[in-house]
Amino acid sequence: MTVHTRPEKPSAEAAVQAFLGQIDASIASYLETCVHCGECAEACHFYEVTKDPRYTPTWKLQPMVRAYKRHLAPFSGLKRALGLAPSEVTLDELEEWSELVYDACTMCARCTVVCPMGIDIATAIRRMREGMVAAGVAPEGLHEASDRALNTGSPLGLTLRVLQKQIADQEKETGIPVPVDVKGADYLVILSAMELIGFPEVIGALSRIFKQANVSWTFSSAAFEATNVGVQIGSKEIATSLLGRVVDAAEALEVKYLISPECGHAYGALKWEGPNMMGRNYEFEVIHILELLEELRLEGRLRIGGKDSRRLAFHDPCQIVRRGGVVAEPRNLMAAVAANQVVTAHAGINNYCCGGGGGVSSNHRAEELRFKAFAVKKRQLEEAGGVDALVTACANCRNVLEEAIDEYEMDLPVLSLTELLAEYLEPEGGAG
Amino acid sequence: MTFLEWTEGPLWYGASAIFVVGAAWRLFGILRLGRRVELSRPRASAASGALAAIVRHALPRGEYVERTWYHVVAGYLFHLGLFALLLFAAPHVAFIHDRLLGVGWTPLPRWAFIVVAELAFAGLILLWVRRICDPVMRQISDRDDHLGTWLTFIAMLTGCLALQETSPVLRGIHMLCVEVWMVYFPFSRLMHAFTWVLSRGFMGANYGRRGVSP
């Protein structure tokens, strides 16, 4: 089946139709209830660093609000007849809003937490992006990533040969064979594109952990990437196509669980949006790697033999913690492995985004703004008295943070929580 | 028929009908859009999440108060003051007893009415001053925000003028202003007085099933 990534020509009408198609009672209640109090601006890292009022989260929804109020809202017909309905959204406006919706929003949902009306702006932005794609005003960087993902399965264009090379390197490093295409394994491991190309050590870390915990697991040569750029650009068609490959591979291998890797949006795409996009639930369960690691730790199968003595702070990935519900697990795992954990202000469900989620890191034109947004994280760390290293559980956060740290000429390693745990595993044969 | 009789008779019934039918239609118009069936396996209860959000988002979030204190303070002053006036001002208690429910309760003493009214006015004025001064608020505010604020302000002000009950005309003017407010209500953002339950509830249910209460 051909997946359409771009419309034949830019069209505001297509956007309006797509906006309206995305609005159910929940989205309508959000668009109806906003009282324009402006509190959401105070939660947004992009507003905080720029003080640009256009970056007020609720303002980013304006075109969809106008389309709704003109065409779908109660009394919209009456208001149109009386000339009181908002004007029709134009292509120029959509092009202007492309920056607000794609460059200046990571769908981190911090604004949702602060909103007195409980408006889920992040979810509304996700829906709005469907209209932006339909209009042809999505950023080129995300389109390029979508094309690569559809052609190769990876937004970075990574092929099976890359996985095989990384597996071979990690097998050599750890001396542990990595299972591939093992039918009937309990767990299927997939990686984020960023892990595969930038942080392949996670493969060795998983090998060591799973060996100690005696976990039955496998990679699939048919689908090994979790990153779903379709969810980021806002195209259900692209997202479903990419997701379908993973679901098919997991079901073909008859695994019991699919492990969502250290990747924020992948977790939302696989666990929460996925079944809705596929129109059915899966024959397997989706479990986040942090959930599995905590489960193994509690069962005594993951045994930590020492603790890192550095001052370590955990950066909560928005899509895993605030929007994913994996809140306690990273805290418990950090406590198990970090002797001097630094808990920054706002840690947990109020944490600031890395600045590059929601496709912002794939969107070249947003780079300068993304680096600016890091100032908030920097301040957060300074206020906590400084740390020796940051730990996180999202390879995209990790990459975004590393790039920003370089930009700010800081010396601050960013670690994966999975890799950190693997580093401190109890040696074979027991602690003694 | 005197001016007061008009405002307490046909105009009151007309405005009430528009208020009730309009607000109900607006709520129905939102709910008729339906909600997509969630197929993902929930981690926790959506209903508990909805209830948690309904309560939690009524309270200021400590982590953000340093940046939102002005709006939080002004918002509470205005809303608590308004509800106290609406439900406990002596003429309102009498009106509710005589015209609406047939039951009444102990009204606020006069001094308390004055204090509460001043707090409500202070809150409303502070909110509006912020709306016209703060760059974010100027960016996002529209005609409806200002009109709703001013209609509420005028209804409150005329209510204070009518408090002495020295003139039926003043009472009639207050009734008329309230009726204009009631007619405007279903078509405006004032509807948030009802729709907040939906937005908080839907959001809370969505996150609640994920096992988190933002």
First and final C-alpha spacing in chain A = 58
Contacts of A324 in chain B (CB under 8 A): 210, 212
Tens digits of per-residue pLDDT, A110-125? 999 999 999 999 999 9
CB–CB contact B199 A117 (8 Å): yes
Contacts of B210 in chain A (CB under 8 A): 272, 323-325
- The answer to whether the beta carbons of residues A95 and A135 sit under 8 Å apart is no
Inter-chain contacts counted by CB atoms under 8 A, chains A and B: 182
DSSP track, A150-188: HHHSSTT---HHHHHHHHHHHHHHH--PPPBS-TT-SEE
Shortest distance between the Cα of B74 and any Cα of chain A, in A, equals 11
Shortest distance between the Cα of A331 and any Cα of chain B, in A, equals 15
pLDDT of residue A28: 98
CB–CB contact B199 A53 (8 Å): no
Shortest distance between the Cα of B84 and any Cα of chain A, in A, equals 20
Contacts of A28 in chain B (CB under 8 A): 29-30, 33
Nearest CA in chain B to A282: B40
Measured between alpha carbons, how far is B27 from A32 in angstroms, rounded to an integer?
10
CB–CB contact A53 B139 (8 Å): yes
Measured between alpha carbons, how far is B184 from B107 in angstroms, rounded to an integer?
28
pLDDT of residue A152: 86
Contacts of A59 in chain B (CB under 8 A): 139-140
Q: How far is CA B123 from CA A402, B73, B76, in A?
A: 45, 8, 7
Closest to A150 in 3D by CA, of A264, A233, A45: A233
Shortest distance between the Cα of B91 and any Cα of chain A, in A, equals 30
Tens digits of per-residue pLDDT, A185-217? 999 999 999 999 999 999 999 999 999 999 999
Measured between alpha carbons, how far is A255 from A278 in angstroms, rounded to an integer?
18
B35: nearest CB among A26, A272, A325: A26
CB–CB contact B64 A271 (8 Å): no
Nearest CA in chain B to A68: B30
pLDDT of residue A226: 93
CB–CB contact B187 A79 (8 Å): yes
Measured between alpha carbons, how far is A174 from A201 in angstroms, rounded to an integer?
10
What is the ipTM metric for this complex? 0.95
- The answer to whether the beta carbons of residues A232 and A362 sit under 8 Å apart is yes
Task: Tell me: pLDDT of A345 over 60.
Answer: yes
Shortest distance between the Cα of B146 and any Cα of chain A, in A, equals 11
SS3 B36: coil
Nearest CA in chain B to A123: B203
Nearest CA in chain B to A60: B140
Contacts of B44 in chain A (CB under 8 A): 325
Q: Of residues A378 and A152, which shows the higher confidence score?
A: A378
What value does the mean pLDDT take over residues B106-127?
Answer: 96
pLDDT of residue B1: 86
Nearest CA in chain B to A268: B210
Tokens representing A366?
């947003």
Tens digits of per-residue pLDDT, A57-101? 999 999 999 999 999 999 999 999 999 999 999 999 999 999 999
B30: nearest CB among A28, A114, A273: A28
- The answer to whether the beta carbons of residues B208 and B44 sit under 8 Å apart is yes
pLDDT of residue A2: 73
What contacts 24+ positions apart, CB below 8 Å, involve B152-158?
A: B152/B82, B152/B124, B152/B181, B152/B190, B153/B121, B153/B124, B153/B125, B153/B128, B154/B181, B155/B180, B155/B181, B156/B82, B156/B85, B156/B117, B156/B120, B156/B121, B156/B124, B157/B121
pLDDT of residue B164: 77
Contacts of A23 in chain B (CB under 8 A): 33
Closest to A365 in 3D by CA, of A62, A134, A42, A137: A137
Task: Tell me: pLDDT of B35 over 60.
Answer: yes
CB–CB contact A325 B141 (8 Å): no
Shortest distance between the Cα of A365 and any Cα of chain B, in A, equals 24
Measured between alpha carbons, how far is A295 from A332 in angstroms, rounded to an integer?
11
CB–CB contact B214 A43 (8 Å): no
CB–CB contact A117 B196 (8 Å): yes
CB–CB contact B29 A109 (8 Å): no
CB–CB contact B203 A345 (8 Å): no
- CB atoms closer than 10 angstroms to residue A253: 20
Task: Tell me: pLDDT of A5 over 80.
Answer: no
Contacts of B139 in chain A (CB under 8 A): 53-54, 56, 59
First and final C-alpha spacing in chain B = 55
Closest to A180 in 3D by CA, of A192, A188, A169, A172: A188
Q: How far is CA A278 from CA A13, A238, B103, in A?
A: 27, 12, 55
Task: Tell me: pLDDT of B168 over 60.
Answer: yes
> A7-11, A25-29, A169-173: which range is least confident on average?
A7-11
Q: How confident is the model at residue A423 (pLDDT cuts 50, 70, 90)?
A: very high
Contacts of B38 in chain A (CB under 8 A): 276
Nearest CA in chain A to B127: A37
Please name each of the domains of chain A with its CATH number.
Answer: 12-138 (1.10.1060), 155-296 (3.40.50.1860), 303-423 (3.40.50)
What value does the mean pLDDT take over residues A239-245?
Answer: 95
Task: Tell me: pLDDT of A297 over 70.
Answer: yes
pLDDT of residue A430: 61
CB–CB contact B198 A25 (8 Å): yes
- The answer to whether the beta carbons of residues A104 and A111 sit under 8 Å apart is no
Q: State the Cα angle at B59 between B58 and B60, rounded to 5°.
A: 125
Bridge partner residues of A415 (DSSP): A391
A322: nearest CB among B134, B139, B214: B214
What value does the mean pLDDT take over residues B21-32?
Answer: 98
Shortest distance between the Cα of A403 and any Cα of chain B, in A, equals 28
Closest to A158 in 3D by CA, of A213, A198, A214, A217: A198
pLDDT of residue A1: 61
Tokens representing A411?
């010396």
**Mean pLDDT, chain A, whole residue set:** 95
Closest to B179 in 3D by CA, of B3, B24, B18: B18
Contacts of A243 in chain B (CB under 8 A): none
Task: Tell me: pLDDT of A394 over 70.
Answer: yes
CB–CB contact B30 A272 (8 Å): no
- The answer to whether the beta carbons of residues A399 and A227 sit under 8 Å apart is no
What value does the mean pLDDT take over residues A155-176?
Answer: 94
Shortest distance between the Cα of A32 and any Cα of chain B, in A, equals 7
Q: How confident is the model at residue B210 (pLDDT cuts 50, 70, 90)?
A: very high
Contacts of B143 in chain A (CB under 8 A): none
Tokens representing A183?
């039918």
Tens digits of per-residue pLDDT, B63-111? 899 999 999 999 999 999 999 999 999 999 999 999 889 999 999 999 9
Task: Tell me: pLDDT of A432 over 60.
Answer: no
**Mean pLDDT, chain B, whole residue set:** 95
CB–CB contact B61 A59 (8 Å): no
Contacts of A34 in chain B (CB under 8 A): 189, 192
The H-assigned helical ranges of A190-235 are: 193-198, 201-213, 229-233
A272: nearest CB among B36, B195, B210: B210
Tokens representing A39?
């509190």
pLDDT of residue B163: 83
> A122-136, A147-161, A300-314, B44-58: which range is least confident on average?
A147-161
